[in-house]
Structure 1
Amino acid sequence: MNRPVITQPQLAPVTHVDTQLPAVQPDGLTVAAIRQRLANRGGWTPEFTGDGARFTDRSPAGAAVLMPLVQRPDGLRLLLTRRTDHLRDHAGQISFPGGRTEPEDASPVETALRETEEEVGLSRRHIDVVGALPIYATVTAFQVTPVVGVVTPPFTLAPDPAEVAEVFEVPLAFLMNPAHHRHHQFSFGGVERRFLSMPWAGPEREYFIWGATAAMLRNFYRLLSDG
């Protein structure tokens, strides 16, 4: 292991918040606008390509996650999961549904849809895939493709209790406003760590969205705001 594991990210000092950057406007947060921007991203380069140095020496493996944008009367909302506390990787963290690519998966889209069905019970018949973001490399040696899908209600969920402690939704407009993007930095044992967070106060608790999930959301923000 070549850098410290962050076990209490909420305690890491906040160096700054991006209040100087503009939020994505409502007309950029429609299904049509998002679909068009993903289709025309061309040579666009993401702000974050990965977490940095890996925690493991194992060979990189393919993976995919679904960024499920649920159509609600008040606008698009992003469906996220809170992982159970006993998992080996990213225990207790806020994540997109998704996971490792299996041999039978024909594409990252197939991986994302299959894993979403297995993790939260969301059937692919409710999901319209509108595009994908560039691969993101995690500290746990996964090459993750974020797949963007629009979810049409009504639908039912059946989270796998072995992997998912909770499923919840966050307004996309909140996440696409950089005034809610916090930059953290700290040093431990001579090693410096930096990461993003996007804390969201839900009806019953605060969800600390950080790490790879926050970085991929920041890339999504950059894509939509650059459009």
Structure 2
Amino acid sequence: MIRPVFEPESLPVEATGAHLPPVAAERLTPDGLRARFEQHLDWTPEPRIETPWRNTEGDPRVAAVLVPLVVRNHGLTVLLTQRADHLNDHAGQVSFPGGRQEPFDADATATALREAHEEVGLEPSRVEILGALPDYLTGTGFCVTPVIGLVHPPFALQMDTLEVAEVFEVPLAFLMDPANHEVRVFRYEDGERRFFTMPYPRSGSTQSHGQGGGEVGGHHFIWGATAAMLRNLYRFLAA
């Protein structure tokens, strides 16, 4: 089956997480996060709502992403990228820095740090690794390990413009408030698909770099696998 083309921003919102509690503020601090990852909690990841497309065959491709939590004076932010429009996989989408695991990568952390350095110039020495969330299987056949790390300023970014169109930051508190989590549905001839979205107003961004970073109005439209991994981070921190 050929995957149908659709515009996720135009699809209807089926539900939100407004009935769920936000993560407590003390957990959204460097010390709070360190303590959380040291606890080895028994928690349940979000049930998967993004099913694979029917033409996804074979073993999933192994990948890792860095979930970079930037330590700012006004609170933690999540550093995200918007992928270049010409890429084969997830073109134009909001993503974490990351990519496929290479044979020379020692583990998922090595992959995540290497890819973050290659994509946005983030030096591994500025990243304090906290741990990882359960692997996430994307609808396009990637098995992704989300590696969580605190990013300590000062740091300078340098985008690989062949892969990244923009780098921006979103407050962690916004993303960990389930009232900002939407479930949207795409109905088509062969069925329907649901996925999480977390639109964030551009005018409220804490920091942007690259094309479109200074625009006022509109949203950074976080959706799909990136939003699903953030939802799992919410489940982990709220447990």
Q: Which residue of 1 aligns with 2:43?
A: 44
Question: Cα distance, 1:32 vs. partner?
Answer: 1.7
Q: Cα distance 1:148–1:119, how it changes in 2: closer, same or farther (>3 A)?
A: same
Following superposition of structure 1 onto structure 2, how do residues 30-109 of structure 1 map, counting pairs within 5 Å? 30-49=29-48, 51-54=50-53, 55-109=55-109
Deviation at 1:6, TM superposition (A): 5.0
Pairs within 5 Å for 1:203-214: 203=203, 204=215, 205-214=218-227
Instruction: Tell me the CA shift for residue 38 of structure 1.
Output: 2.2
What is the deviation of 1:61? 1.6
Query: How far off its partner does 1:36 sit?
Result: 2.1
**Which residue does the alignment assign to 1:17?**
16
Work out whether residues 131 and 147 of structure 1, in 8 Å CA contact, stay in contact via their aligned partners in 2: yes
Q: Aligned partners of 2:23 and 2:4: how far apart in 1?
A: 33
Give per-residue Cα distances to partners, 1:174-209, cap 9 Å, x unaligned: 000011011111310031110110000022341000
Unaligned 5+ runs, structure 2: 204-214
TM-score norm. by structure 2 comes to 0.90
- 1:183-194 → structure 2 map (5 Å cutoff): 183-194=183-194
Which 10-residue stretch deviates more, 133-142 or 196-205?
Answer: 196-205
What per-residue deviation string (whole Å, max 9, x for no partner) do you get for residues 38-86 of structure 1? 2323442211457322443243121000000000010000000000000
Deviation digits for residues 92-135 of structure 1 (CA, Å, limit 9, x no counterpart):
00000000000000100000000000000000010000110000
Q: Work out whether 1:150 is the aligned partner of 2:135.
A: no
**What's the TM-score once normalised by structure 1's chain length?**
0.94
> Distance in 1 between the 2:105 and 2:120 partners?
18
Deviates most, 187-196 or 156-165: 187-196
**C-alpha displacement at 1:140, in angstroms?**
2.0
Number of corresponding residues: 225
1:223–1:149 CA distance, 2 compared to 1 (3 A): same
8 Å CA contact 1:133–1:146 kept in 2: the answer is yes
Provide closer, same or farther for how the CA distance between residues 6 and 42 of structure 1 changes in structure 2, counting only shifts above 3 A. Answer: farther
- Structure 1 distance, partners of 2:33, 2:5, is 33
Structure 1 pair 22/115, CA: closer, same or farther in 2 (3 Å)?
same
Taking the aligned partners of 1:164 and 1:194, their CA distance within structure 2 comes to 26
Does 33-42 or 194-203 show the bigger shift?
Answer: 33-42
Match of 2:201 in 1: 201
Partner of 1:180: 180
Structure 2 match to 1:160 = 160
Alignment partner of 1:217 is 2:216: no
Structure 2: which amino acid aligns with 1:192?
E
**Mapped partners of 2:136, 2:228: distance in 1:** 9
CA distance in 2, matches of 1:48, 1:38: 21
Alignment partners' CA distance in 1, 2:47 and 2:31 = 25
